[in-house]
Amino acid sequence: MNSKIPEIKLSEEQTGKWGMVIDQDICTGCQACVAACAMENNLSFVGEVDAGYGRSMHWIRIERFWEGEYPEVKMTPGQPMMCQQCGSAPCEPVCPAFATVHSQAEQLNLQVYNRCVGTRYCANNCPYQVRSFNWRDYVRPEPLPNQLNPDVTVRRMGVMEKCTFCIQRIHKAEDKAKSEGRELTDGEFTTACAQACPANAITFGRIDQPESLVSQLIRKHGHGVKHLEELGTLPSVTYFKGG
């Protein structure tokens, strides 16, 4: 019986498995991804009081910045920002409860809700500010509970949460492929945000397979940006702008 847990590989060697490519030039900032994500992943609606305290919960948000000096200011294109599923994630080593761990099998950053005790160290250490905390048990008035996704845990008060790259969809697709005795094909499934994007600005797939659509896009554009790459976080999301 093999009971040893394999050693965690050094971050420099990690390549990542799942990745995303976001084309900011065609993003209109319509927020369809934000809504789709909230529906798919059972996000709570915090209401205006808590939102006023900056406690709104989103796993993905559209960032826009002002560029240049007045009066020559212009707005940058929409920049969907979600968990970058870092290969060397700053959130992971600071968790005192080991609730945010790296999935060796899927190469994702996990948030194990039932393990989380709510210290919020991870959110404070996340350079992308993409984690949200359940400050309360937010009520879902009837009939909203009927639209909860049964494949995703409903989080409770005192638990941190963040984008999972729709891991439930990954598992479902992998399970379907396995039941049909074949390998998972590229583009067979996608995340909720990518599916909802009317402009197809978000593409999801395997970045470790050279023939997948995301890998092809990265090669084709050739000038992709990974945000805050200089911190050594090894993010899995590539952004294109001004192409």
Partner 1 sequence: MFKRLFDWLRQPLGLIAVGIVLLTVFSLAAYGIFLTQQSSAQPIQFPHRTHVGFGIQCLYCHPGAARGPSAGIPSQAKCWGCHQQIAKTQTSALLAPLKQAVESGTPIQWVPVAMVPDFVQFNHRAHVAAGQNCEDCHGDMTLVTIAENPQVFNMGWCLDCHRKAAGEDEAKLLKLADCGTCHY
Nearest CA to 220 out of 64, 40, 35, 23 is that of 23
By C-beta, is 151 or 174 nearer to ligand HEC?
A: 174
Q: Which is nearer to ligand HEC, 50 or 174 (CB)?
A: 174
Q: Which of 114, 146, 147, 179 binds ligand HEC (CB under 6 A)?
A: 114
Among 69, 105, 146, 211, interactor with partner 1 by CB under 8 A: 105
Applying CB under 8 A, among 20, 37, 167, 194 the residue interacting with partner 1 is: 167
Distance (Å, whole) CA 61 – CA 65: 13
**Interacting residues of 86 by C-beta distance below 8 A, sequence separation 6+:** 109, 233, 234, 235, 236
| Residue with the two structure tokens 């390549």 | 15
From 23-31, 48-56, 106-114, 235-243, give the range in contact with partner 1 by CB under 8 A: 106-114
Mask for 94-113, x = binds ligand HEC (CB under 6 A): ------------------x-
User: Is the alpha carbon torsion for 154, 157, 158, 163 positive or negative?
Assistant: positive
**Is residue 179 a contact point for ligand HEC (CB under 6 A)?**
no
- Contacts for 216 with CB less than 8 Å, ≥ 6 apart: none
Window of 80-88, 118-126, 152-160, 186-194 that interacts with partner 1 by CB under 8 A: 152-160
Reduced 3-state DSSP string for 81-110: EECCCCCCCCCCCCCCCCCCCECCCCCCEC
Q: Which residues bind partner 1 (CB under 8 A)?
A: 1-3, 5-6, 101, 103-106, 108, 110, 112-115, 151-154, 164, 167-168, 171, 175, 178-179
